[in-house]
Amino acid sequence: MAAAHPLLDRMCGIIGQVRYDGRNVDQDLPGRMCAALEHRGPDSRGMHRDGSVALGIQRLRVIDLATGDQPIYNEDRSVVVVLNGEIYNYRELRDDLRRRGHTLATRGDTEVIVHLYEEFGVDCVRRLQGMFAFALWDARRRRLLIARDRVGKKPLVYTVRDGALTFASEMGALLADPTIPREVDPGAVDAYLAHGYVPAPLTALRGVHKLPPAHTLVVQDGKLELDRYWRLDYGAKIEDASPQELAERIRSGLLEATRKRMIADVPLGAFLSGGIDSSAVVAAMAQESSEPVRTFSIGFDHEEFDELPHARRVAQQFGTVHEEFQVRAEAVEILPKIVRHYGEPFADSSAIPSFYLSELTRRHVTVALNGDGGDESFGGYTRYVANALAGRLDRIPAAARRTLGAAAARLPEGGHIASVRSRARRLGGTLALDAAARYARYMAWFDGEQRRALYAPGFGRECGYDAITAAWATTSGTSVIDKMLEVDVDTYLAGDLIPKIDIATMAYALEARSPFLDADLMQLAASIPAELKVRGTEKKWILREALRPWLPGDLLDRPKQGFSVPLSSWLRGDLREWSRDVLLDPATLSRGYFRPEAINGLLQRHSAGVDAEDHRIWSLLVLELWHREYIDRPAAGLRHAA
C-alpha cells in the first residue's frame, strides 16, 4: 500500500556542537550523544567532524533504504546538513535547483536543503514543506543554521555555554555532554505546573532551551540570531465560498495531505481511536491505497474510557487489518521509561497508552499515520464553546459577573474534571477576567492561586511566565474562537500533543505522520470563518459536514471521548499507596518546592472523592520521578531503557 518513491527519510535523531572559542570539539562527545539517540534511529550512524564542528545523526531507514545515509554535502563539501524528518515538496525543489544549475548527487530530499541554502541562505527554510529539524554548517562563513518545521513535529533542544552551541533531538542526548549543568529552572517548574508540560522556549533545566516551531537559529562569530519564519494567518477569511464548497476543499486537502504521508518503502499503518480525526485519516488512506490499511487501537478496562468498540466499527467499515491492545493500572510500570525519554516533566497521562500503542504498532509496521491536529484546527474541544459563551457574558457589568463567579465557586468540589459541575466552577471563576486571562485560567492544571498555595516559602520568586497569555497577545484572528485555536496551535499542540506522540513513537523507532498537521490544510482551516468551526454549541461543525460522505452520521455526531486514562480510579485504587509513598517521601519534600501540608491536602481531597485533583497529583508524581532520573542520577548513569 505504501507508494515507493526515492524520497530520502530521516525519522531519526540529530546532534551537534559548534565551538566558536577556537577549541576543538571533544573527540568522544559526538559518539556519546548519538548513542543516546539509537532508539530514534537504530539503523545507521553518520558523522561530520572538522575540528571545532561536529554534526551527527542516528538514522531510521524508511525510504531510500540503500543510499539515504547522512550527512549530505553540496558539490564542494563546503555546506553540510543533517536532517531529522521529511521534505514533502522535494521533487519540485529538485527540478527547480537543476534549472538553476545545481548538480544533485542523490535521489532524495535532504540534498535539496544544501543547494537551497546556496541559493537563498537562511531563507531556504521558507521554501521547505514537511516535518523536520535540521542542522546546516556553512564552512566558508563559519555559520551554523538550525531550524524546525512550521508546527514543531520534530524536536530540537540546545544550550549556549562555555564558547559553544550544543544541540540534540532529545534532552538525554544533550546531557551526554557532562559539562552541561543539571540545574532546575524554577520558572520552568512553575510553567510546568500551570500547563502540564514545559512550554517553549523553556526546558526544565536552566540554560537549556527548546528551539520553538517555525524558528531558525543562526550562530556566527559567537552571535546568535533567533527568527520566526512562519505563522498561521487567522485574519484573512474565505468569504465567497458556501459551506458545501468549503467541505469539498477540506476533503481534497485531507486527501492530498494523507497521500503525501503515505510515501514509504516499509510497512505503513494508522493509529485508530474511533474518533472523528483518526477515522477520517483511515478513510482517506483507504481511498489512496490498493491494499487493506493496517490499523492499531488501544483501550482500557474502564468502559468510560474505552473507545475500542468505535475503532472496531471503523476498521470493519474500511476493511482494515486491525490490531488491539488494552491498558490496565499496572501499565504505570512503564513510567520510568517514559520519564527518561521525555527528558523533562511531562504530565499528560495519555503518554502511557501512547507508548503501549507505539510498541504494539511497531511490531507490525514502521510508519503510522494519526489524527493529531484536527481539534486545534477545526474547534473540537468543549472549552471553545465554554469560553465563547463566557465572552458573550462580558457584556454583563463586572460587578454582576463577579457575583456569578462567586456563586459558581461555592459549588461543592467533586466529580470528574470534565463534569458539568467542574466546568461550571472553572467557568465561574473566570467571569471577571479578560479573555486571555480567562483562557489561561481555564487551561491551567494549577492556576496561579493554587500554585502559590502549594509553594514552600522562598520558592516561586522566578515564576510567573504564562505561555497562554503570551501567545494570546500575538494572535492574528479577531474572534475569541480563532484566538483560542491559534493559541492552542502555538502552545498545547506544539508543547503537549506533538511531543507526546513524537517521543512515544520514536522510543520504538516508529515514525508518526499527521495529515491534519499539513501546513496548507491548517491554513485552509484558519481561513474558514470561526462560526463554521464552532457553531453555537456544535464543535467541529464544518469538518463534520465535510466528512459525512466518508463516515457514518452516528460516529460524526457522538460526543468527543478523548484519549485519556482512568487516572482518578487508578490513584484511588492500585496506585494509591505508591503515589503517597512518592509524594510524601522525605527526599521529595526536602527539595524545598512545596509545603508538605499542601501535598497532603491534595491527596486527602482526592481520597475523599474530588476527581479534579487527579491530574494535579499526577503532575507532581511525574515531576518527582523526573528529578530522580535527571537530577539525582549521576550524569554517567543517565540512560535510555530499551
Query: pLDDT tens-digit profile of 590-638?
Result: 999 999 999 999 999 998 887 678 999 999 999 999 999 999 976 544 4
- Within 10 angstroms of residue 400's Cβ, the number of other Cβ atoms is 12
Higher pLDDT, 465 or 423: 465
**Which string of b and e fits 600-615 if b means at least 16 CB within 10 Å?**
eebbebbeeebbbbbb
Of the candidates 273, 285, 232, 217, which has an alpha carbon nearest to the alpha carbon of residue 2?
A: 285
pLDDT tens digits for 497-530? 999 999 999 899 899 999 999 999 999 999 999 9
Element (H, E) at 603: helix 596-607
d(CA 481, CA 246): 18
CA–CA gap between residue 133 and residue 147 (Å, rounded): 6
Beta strand spans in 139-293 (E): 143-148, 157-161, 164-168, 208-210, 215-220, 223-228, 268-271
- Banded pLDDT at 412 (limits 50, 70, 90): low
Question: Which amino acid belongs to residue 359?
Answer: E
Say if residues 291 and 365 touch (Cβ distance below 8 Å): no
Whether pLDDT at 192 is above 50: yes
CA dist., res. 597 & res. 603, Å (int): 10
Flag whether pLDDT at 571 surpasses 50.
yes
Percentage, residues of the chain above pLDDT 70: 88
Does the structure show a pLDDT above 60 at 364? yes
In the numeric block, which cell numbers belong to residue 185? Answer: 529552572
pLDDT at 56 (0 to 100): 96
- At 193, list the grid cell: 505546573
310-328: average pLDDT? 91
* Torsion of the alpha carbons at 32, 494, 211 and 461, rounded to the nearest 10: -100
Q: Over range 270-277, report the average pLDDT.
A: 94
Banded pLDDT at 640 (limits 50, 70, 90) = very low
Q: Check: CB of residue 562 under 8 Å from CB of residue 349.
A: no
Q: Phi and psi dihedrals of 233, rounded to 5?
A: -110, 110
Query: How far apart, in whole angstroms, are the C-alpha atoms of residue 36 and residue 598?
Result: 37
Q: Nearest to residue 150, comparing CAs of 535, 468, 519, 509?
A: 519
The pTM of the full predicted model, rounded to 2 decimals, is: 0.91
Cis geometry, peptide bond prior to residue 181 (ω within 30 degrees of 0): no
pLDDT in tens, 217-264: 999 988 999 999 999 999 999 999 999 999 999 999 999 999 999 987
Q: Which of 12, 34, 124, 463 is catalytic?
A: 12
**What confidence category does residue 61 fall into, taking pLDDT thresholds of 50, 70 and 90?**
low
Q: What domains can you pick out in the chain, each with its CATH number?
A: 13-228 (3.60.20.10), 243-335+344-379+483-557 (3.40.50.620), 382-480 (no CATH), 567-637 (no CATH)
Per-residue pLDDT, 637: 44
DSSP for 487-530, written as a single string: HHIIIIIIIIIHHHHHHHHHTTT-EEE-GGG-HHHHHHHHHS-H
Of residues 189, 71, 87, the one with CA closest to residue 131? 87
12 counts as catalytic: yes
pLDDT at residue 427, rounded to an integer: 65
How far apart, in whole angstroms, are the C-alpha atoms of residue 201 and residue 95?
36
Statement: residue 63 has pLDDT above 70: no
**Burial tier of 363 (Cβ tally within 10 Å: 0-12, 13-18, 19+):** exposed
Residues 14 and 55 sit within 8 Å (Cβ to Cβ):
yes
In this structure, of 149-158, 252-261, 429-438, 592-601, the range with the lowest mean pLDDT score is: 429-438
In tens, the pLDDT along 349-361 reads 999 989 999 999 9
| Euclidean distance between CA atoms 439 and 485, whole angstroms | 11
For residues 183-192, average pLDDT? 96
Cell 502540564 locates to 196
Nine cell digits for residue 277 = 480525526
Name the nearest CA neighbour of 324 among 345, 303, 310, 334: 310
Contact status, residue 41 vs residue 60, Cβ threshold 8 Å: yes
- pLDDT one-digit tens code per residue, 18-48: 999 989 999 999 999 999 998 876 677 899 9
Could you tell me the strand order of the sheet in which 53-59 lies? Answer: 44-50, 53-59, 13-19, 164-168, 157-161, 208-210
